[in-house]
């Protein structure tokens, strides 16, 4: 074997050995990425019960007839005007943003409703006409 051929074989062998750990490493990285994806999907499915809800959605105005006062400040909030209120069983939503896709409303929940209500979201609107249009209906609510 000539010296040039020996150098070529040695170089090829060196390149193969140098590349082998990289190929093995890439397979390990792909396996870890697949496991990570499966864990994220499982976590997402588990969390969906807390973030993608079916709730009874109603609307109200800050009128005296509906709230007992007209300042719009919620009883549970920090003095800010209430944008939305949830029933006590959904109190974990207070302070968070929710989206009602069917209405296109994205509001911050900063109040609670009466203690006797369950699984309810009340959205504050400006006019009684808008409140009547929304009505009372079970709708999809997404916790953001």
Indicate the domain borders of the chain: 53-143
CB count within 10 Å of CB 108 equals 17
- On the question of pLDDT at 91 being above 90, the answer is no
Contact of 92 with 101, CB cutoff 8 Å: no
Question: Which of 61-65, 70-74, 111-115 is predicted least confidently?
Answer: 70-74
In the numeric block, which tokens belong to residue 78? 């920090």
In the numeric block, which tokens belong to residue 21? 């750990």
CATH of domain 53-143: 2.40.40
pLDDT band of residue 19 (cuts 50, 70, 90) is low
For position 113, what pLDDT does the model report?
Answer: 82
For position 54, what pLDDT does the model report?
Answer: 92
Chain mean position to CA 55: 16
Determine if the pTM surpasses 0.75. no
């Amino acid at each position: 074997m000539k010296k040039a051929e020996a150098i070529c074989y040695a170089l090829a062998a060196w390149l193969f050995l140098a590349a082998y750990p990289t190929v093995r490493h890439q397979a390990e990285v792909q396996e870890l990425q697949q496991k990570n994806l499966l864990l994220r999907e499982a976590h997402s499915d588990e969390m969906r019960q807390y973030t993608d809800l079916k709730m009874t959605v109603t609307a109200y105005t800050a009128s005296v007839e509906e709230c007992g006062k007209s300042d719009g400040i919620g009883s549970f909030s920090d003095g800010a005007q209430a944008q939305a209120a949830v029933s006590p069983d959904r109190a974990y939503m207070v302070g968070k943003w929710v989206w009602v896709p069917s209405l296109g409303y994205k509001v911050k929940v900063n109040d609670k409703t009466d203690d006797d209500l369950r699984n309810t979201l009340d959205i504050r609107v400006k006019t009684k006409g808008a409140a009547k249009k929304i009505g009372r209906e079970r709708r999809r609510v997404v916790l953001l």
